[in-house]
Amino acid sequence: MTVSYAYAVSSVNSSTFLKLFRKWKGSILKAVWKELLIWLILYSFVGFVVNCFLDTVIREHCRAEFEAIDGKLAYFDLKFMLGFFVSAVVDRWKNILQNIAFIETTALSISTLIRGKDDNVRLARRSIIRYIVLSQILVFRDISMRVRRRFPTMQSLIDSGFLFENERKEIDEVDTQYNKYWMPINWANSIVFRMQEQKYIDVPVSTNNVLNNIRDFRNTLDNLCKFDWVPLPIAYPQVVFLAVRVYFLICIFSRQHVIMEQQPYLIHRHFPFMTVLQFVFYVGWMKVAEALLNPLGEDDDDFEGNWVIDKNITTGMQIVDGSHNACPDLHVDKFSEPKFGPMYPLINVSTGQIGFCQGSVADVVICESPTSSKMVTIDSVSMSSKDQKSSSMRRRFSKISQRLSLSRTISGGPKSPEILATPTKNLEQVTEEDNVKIDIEDQVPKNIQK
C-alpha cells in the first residue's frame, strides 16, 4: 500500500525533516541499506588486502593508479542520466495513477437514470456494477501481482462472488486467442439496453449517458493494459542501472586510502564518508525509478489494486441498491437568514488561522487626474491621430511644391552652372529640413538634366 506522509508535512517547521525519516516503510534507508552494506564489505576487503599484504613500492603504484581512475570518474554523468530517466518514469507513473478507475461516477449515473425498486430492476443495477468490477478484476489479474495472488484462477472469482458458473461457461465458450476483458462490459451494456426496452429508462438520452460512463470506465482499463504491454524501452533502464552500479564498483578501488609509512591515522581517510553519502543519494535516486517503473507491483509504494476492487464493489452496490432513490427530509437552511455568516471554531478565530483569497493588485489605488480619467471611444482617438498625420504630410508636400516652383519657370536652352545647381540645392535643403526622401531625377525637369 502506498505510504502516506501528507499529515507529517502539513506544515513547514524544523521537525518536518525528522518526521519523514521516522517512517521506515518505503524510505530511502530501507531501499539502499542492503546494497550499501555489500559495498562497504567489498571496500573494506580491498583496503585490507592493499594495506596489509602489499609492500611499499606496490602500494605506491596502487595509489597512483587509484588517483588516476578517480580523476576519470567524471566521465559518468550520473546526474544527467538519472534526471532524465526519473522524469520519464514519474510521468508514466502519473498517467497510470490517473487511469485507476473508481466506480462512483458510473454507479451514480446508473442509480439516477435506471429507475425502479422492483426485484427485476434492482437485480439489473446490481449486475451492471458486478460486471464492471469483474472486468476490472480480469484486467488487474494480468497486470498486478497482488491481485493475481488473490485471484489465481477463475474458480477463485466464483468463490468470491464476482462470477457465476454459467457466466464462466460463456467466457470459456468464446473461442479466441486474445483476452476477454470486454465480455463483462458487453453484458452490462446489454442489460442497459434491456432496461430501456422495459421502460425503466425514460429517454434514449439517459441510456446514452449510462453507456458513456461505462465506456469511460472501460477506457481506463484499456489504458492500463497499454502501459503494461508497452513499457519504456528496456535499453533505457539497463543503461541507467548499469551506469550507477559500475560507477560505485569502480569507487571501491578509486576511493581507497593507501597507507604509506609515517602517516598519521585519520578516520575520514579510512572510512569513505563522502562516498557513502554519494552512494545513498545516487542509489536512492535510482531505487525511486526502479519502484516507479511498475506501480502495480509489490513494493511498499505500489498501488493497492485489491483495495480498489473492494472499494468499487462495495460502494457501487450501496449506490445502486442500498441508497437508490434515497433523499432525507428537506428543511430550510440557515444560509437563507441574512445575518447568518461563515462559522469557524473559536480557537481558529482567536489565533488568526482564517485566510482569504484576493487579487494581487486589488488594494492598489491609481491616482488619476480628471482629464486622464475621462473615458472616450477608441474610434475617436484613432481618427484624431489619422487626421493629424494627414495634415502634417500635406504641409510637408506644400513646402516642397513651393520651393520647386522655380524649376517650372526655367525654359530650355543652355544654362549657366549657377542656374543648373539652384534646383538641386533647393531640393537638398527641403529634404534636410523635412526629413523626406525625394528622387531628384523625378522632380527636376528634363531640360535641366540635359
One domain, residues 273 and 416:
no
One domain, residues 270 and 415:
no
Can you state the angle between helices 182-197 and 119-143, rounded to 10 degrees? 160
Name residue, grid cell 422492483: 118
Using the predicted structure, report yes or no on whether residue 371 has a pLDDT greater than 90: no
What CA–CA distance (Å, rounded) separates 115 from 125?
9
Mean pLDDT of 229-251: 93
Which pLDDT does position 368 carry in this prediction? Answer: 66
One domain, residues 288 and 433:
no
Task: Give the residue, 361 or 100, on which the prediction is more confident.
Answer: 100
Using a 10 angstrom Cβ sphere, with 0-12 exposed, 13-18 middle and 19 or more buried, the burial of residue 81 is middle
Measured between alpha carbons, how far is residue 254 from residues 55, 235, 380 in Å?
19, 28, 79
List the one residue out of 222, 223, 219, 224 whose CA is nearest residue 105.
Answer: 219
Q: How confident is the model at residue 359 (pLDDT cuts 50, 70, 90)?
A: confident
Q: What is the mean pLDDT of the chain?
A: 83
Number of H helices, E strands in the chain: 21, 0
Here the cell at position 41 is 564489505
What single DSSP character describes residue 9? Answer: G
What CA–CA distance (Å, rounded) separates 264 from 274?
20
The total of other beta-carbon atoms located within 10 Å of residue 159's CB is 11
What CA–CA distance (Å, rounded) separates 439 from 424?
11
For 334-382, give the DSSP string.
GGGSTT------HHHHHTT-------TTTT------TTTT----HHHHH
* Percent residues over pLDDT 70 in the chain: 80
Which pLDDT does position 441 carry in this prediction? Answer: 46
Check: CB of residue 239 under 8 Å from CB of residue 54.
no
What CA–CA distance (Å, rounded) separates 314 from 329?
26
Report if residue 185 sits inside a domain: no
Which pLDDT does position 418 carry in this prediction? Answer: 46
Among the three residues 251, 269, 293, which one is the final residue of a domain in this structure?
293
Here the cell at position 336 is 437563507
Check: CB of residue 323 under 8 Å from CB of residue 17.
no
Residues 442, 443, 444, 446, CA torsion sign: positive
Report if residue 407 sits inside a domain: yes
Here the cell at position 233 is 524501452
What single DSSP character describes residue 152? Answer: -
Which pLDDT does position 432 carry in this prediction? Answer: 45
Report if residue 204 sits inside a domain: no
pTM: 0.75
Report if residue 211 sits inside a domain: no
Mean pLDDT of 296-302: 84
What CA–CA distance (Å, rounded) separates 414 from 96?
94
What CA–CA distance (Å, rounded) separates 423 from 445?
10
List the one residue out of 287, 258, 366 whose CA is nearest residue 36.
Answer: 287
Measured between alpha carbons, how far is residue 31 from residues 43, 230, 303, 427 in Å?
20, 26, 18, 87
What CA–CA distance (Å, rounded) separates 385 from 392?
11
Here the cell at position 231 is 513499457
pLDDT tens by residue, 4-54: 777 777 777 777 777 777 777 878 888 899 999 999 999 999 988 888 888
Among the three residues 271, 293, 315, which one is the final residue of a domain in this structure?
293
Report if residue 333 sits inside a domain: no
In 99-234, alpha helices (H): 104-113, 119-143, 145-150, 154-159, 165-173, 182-197, 204-229
The total of other beta-carbon atoms located within 10 Å of residue 229's CB is 9
Name residue, grid cell 478484476: 137
* Range with lowest mean pLDDT among 107-116, 172-181, 269-278: 269-278
**Residue numbers of the domain that contains 410:** 398-449
What CA–CA distance (Å, rounded) separates 288 from 247?
18
Here the cell at position 411 is 525654359
Check: CB of residue 400 under 8 Å from CB of residue 436.
yes
Report if residue 37 sits inside a domain: yes
Check: CB of residue 415 under 8 Å from CB of residue 377.
no
Using the predicted structure, report yes or no on whether residue 395 has a pLDDT greater than 70: no
pLDDT tens by residue, 116-174: 989 999 999 999 999 999 999 999 999 999 999 999 999 999 999 999 999 999 999 99
Task: Count structural domains, the chain.
Answer: 2
Check: CB of residue 149 under 8 Å from CB of residue 325.
no
Report if residue 246 sits inside a domain: yes
Among the three residues 245, 271, 293, which one is the final residue of a domain in this structure?
293
Which pLDDT does position 119 carry in this prediction? Answer: 92
Report if residue 434 sits inside a domain: yes
Q: What are phi and psi of 137, to 5 degrees?
A: -65, -45
One domain, residues 92 and 241:
yes
